[in-house]
Amino acid sequence: AYDLATRTSANGVPVLADALGYIVCRVADHIDAGDSVLFVAEVVEAAVFADASPLTMREAGFRHAG
């Protein structure tokens, strides 16, 4: 387990304290898609804490294997 600093959103959801922002969603539906499940969600809350460049998968060193 990680010991990460958090704050609480207006809806009571824990959010990483160092996050640039966050989105809270409500699952509206789910669709079976073969060996996966696609979730359709409705955004119920969102906030931006800082105007900065996010760390993307590519910048973190991840590469698509497909």
pLDDT for 18-47, tens place per residue?
999 999 999 999 999 999 999 999 999 999
What integer pLDDT is reported at residue 7 of this predicted model?
Answer: 94
Please say whether the dihedral angle defined by the alpha carbons of residues 7, 12, 2 and 18, taken in this order, is positive or negative: negative
CA-to-CA separations, 53 to 15, 24, 39, in angstroms, rounded: 18, 20, 27
Task: Check: pTM over 0.85? Answer yes or no.
Answer: no
Name which residue leads in pLDDT, 64 or 17.
17
By DSSP bridging, strand 21-33 and strand 6-8 are: unpaired
Backbone angles phi, psi at 3, to 5 degrees: -105, 90
Map out the domains of the chain as residue ranges. 6-48
